[in-house]
A and B are shown apart, each in its own frame.
Chain A
């Protein structure tokens, strides 16, 4: 239990405290895994003396927030994937907020309508290609994945995973529904095995020779290189940022929203500001190998070594719009079967 030291409050320049009172706190519902968030929350508590309480789950938090209504204890909800961010807005459980700091730190394309969500990090959906079996430059676009020359050579996780759904939604937004359905069928025909496992497992499959190409998020590359057991997997592949010659690589975001009911609104906004500032953005970059949204905060040295890339400038809200359709296309093409 972190105990608040009254002197720390004094140092923080807050109003004089006459007696030791209950800790200042902020309550968080998080779809993001705790071990990604803990270092950042700890840094925040250290700096501000505000305790962060968390409930982590993979699903159901939006429903919980909705039903708890105006009495919900949650102040902030952390989500991964634009679809989810959009979902909390549509559920009507968050409120818009803006502060000079947020405005300064987070570029407009990563801010939801009226500040109902703020993107904190971006990640690119890249193609991993076998170093041994795929020549450099042999694959440069997402569209190439449907070409018959890759028959039996592609691995991916389930088409229904939010990361893939978002990618497919971006294809719909760029190329239209019919074209995307054709593309998806083409990719399905090229699969080496039924979609299974997570992004890392696809890279492992390349290492094992099951396939030559895989789709995955960029930060897993860094995480695998850092992991004793998994670094061999990562060593076996090159990272390819698709569509550099045209629209750019598909990126998705993780973000945060202020809830409508927020009982500790001030503290919640403090945490939001903190997350958008250099030090927290640095932690995201260094520990998770994601791309910070704050201009001027660079990615980690490792991530930077993969080179800079051009990202698709399509508004993220468009991707959110086509999410349900994307999920249906996965069903229609029998992608996961």
Chain B
């Protein structure tokens, strides 16, 4: 009988199109990850004894310090500013609401170059100080070293806090006002209400934002390499490139994945008992506190600081260099690079949204067991360093191409060559695998707040699950979807390592173009392209930010 029940439940599974589609998505997205696991079984030599004896403890501790630093700084800036612009009125709030997203369009490696240029010994800041105080050598005074752990933490937090800001703001906006009002009526101060009510309710969304920030931090290579901070990712590339040991590198990557999974699981476990739902609070708009005097000034300052440091200063430096070196750096190819970047990013954004909704929704329908595992699994791509992910994509793609080619040659005498490898499809696939976690996570945290009674009502009126999704859920979670689309678009614009390895011949994006100049430390010549990345990223940031704002309880 046991087997029978088994087959029964299985057949029920396989009749379920939602389950089938999420299984298929998870499989496709999981391919590169499986490929990396596969590579991990074939190391050129066992690297671990050497690593453990020498550098591994250092790699692990600097990775942890970096993540803790970037995480707490991003939380502080992101959640704080999100709550202020959502719940309070103060000078500049309207503008800051979208301006706080701007640093997001600045790639981490670019901000690292800019601040190094400003703050190093030869830079303008220390140069001016020496002028003013009459110092002559670096021994005469102390100045913080930008190329350090502290520098890396600051740089990354400045461009990554918008993840936290975005997600927590979307959550605060979706929060029902009534909850907060009740808390206030019970005599809590605004701060108490924030800590006891708003924050716990927004926690799932904040956790999504934070985990995105941490994963970005974990797999960043450009910035840590530039600042000579030795993280696990740096060690991974070192094992691959300097010790000729791709298998060993894949092992480190797998270890990092396990690390990430543990992190996510711990967070989920800690709120396993929480469930909250809201119905759409029609007609009830958020009431905001009017801040005055010193409080208002403090709020403005608090929200302005990340915008100035993470966006305005880099933009001014880049703008200055772009203007100065315009003749050297402007090429007619710019337009085509920009079109390439833009097209790839738009397609990637749409793809990840569709897949993300499918995953999150099928998880909602089959909350138990296997589906949610599948959804978790398909989010892992984000935790893979880009270059490793790229190799993980090459493996199955090339295998498929060659198998198909062999088969057709044998049976039909035609050769198809490489259909998928080295095409823009491979790049879009990489972006999708990498950023699916972003969209699925964001959509999921929005969906989680829609009360199941909505589903029941809709189903009892005779709608099927698909039409319920389209007519009921999607309008409610529009904000979450737009947020996800925006994040994926901007992230894809900035993506570098996978793009470099997978691209077709003579194919450049803005990011690869910047990198080729900047890798030779030609900040001046790369400024123009960096500026264009940022500017192309800004337009959708502003547009979507407005849509998200207007998605708050409609009048």
Contacts and interface: CB of A to CB of B under 8 A. Distances in A.
Interface of A: 27, 33-35, 53-61, 63-64, 67-73, 83, 87, 90, 158, 160, 162, 165, 194-198, 200-201, 204-205, 207-210, 229, 323-324, 327-328, 331-332, 334, 336-337
A67 B395 contact: yes
Contact of A60 (B121, B245, B500, B504): B500
Given A53-B505, A71-B418, A59 B402 contact: no
A182 to B, nearest CB: 17
B216 interface: no
Contact of B505 (A33, A73, A87, A323): A73
Interface string B214-233: 00000000000001101000
Contact of B399 (A67, A70, A160, A194): A67
B229 to A, nearest CB: 10
**Pairs of residues from A and B, 8 with the lowest C-beta to C-beta distance, nearest first:** A53-B505, A60-B501, A67-B398, A196-B228, A331-B54, A327-B242, A57-B500, A331-B55
User: Of A229, A328, A334, which is in contact with the most chain B CB atoms at under 10 Å from its CB?
Assistant: A328
A185 B502 CA distance: 39
Interface of B: 50-51, 53-55, 58, 121-122, 137-139, 147, 227-228, 230, 237-238, 240-246, 387, 390-391, 394-395, 397-399, 401-402, 405, 415, 417-418, 421-422, 500-507, 516-517, 519-521, 524
A69 B245 CA distance: 20
Given A200-B521, A331-B50, A71 B402 contact: yes
A327 B47 CA distance: 12
Contact of A53 (B242, B391, B399, B506): B506
A244 B112 CA distance: 40
A83 to B, nearest CB: 8
A327 B245 CA distance: 12
Contacts of A323: 242, 244
Contacts of B137: 209
Given A34-B516, A208-B122, A59 B417 contact: no
B358 to A, nearest CB: 29
Nearest to A161: B242
A60 B388 CA distance: 9
A9 B346 CA distance: 42
A162 B516 CA distance: 18
Nearest to B45: A324
A71 B501 contact: no
Contact of A68 (B53, B54, B241, B422): B422
B405 A210 contact: no
Given A57-B500, A60-B390, A71-B405, A158 B228 contact: yes
A57 B391 CA distance: 13
Contact of A336 (B50, B228, B240, B502): B228
A330 B537 CA distance: 41
A121 B183 CA distance: 74
Contacts of B238: 160, 327
Contacts of B502: 64
A165 B418 contact: no
Contact of B391 (A63, A198, A200, A332): A63
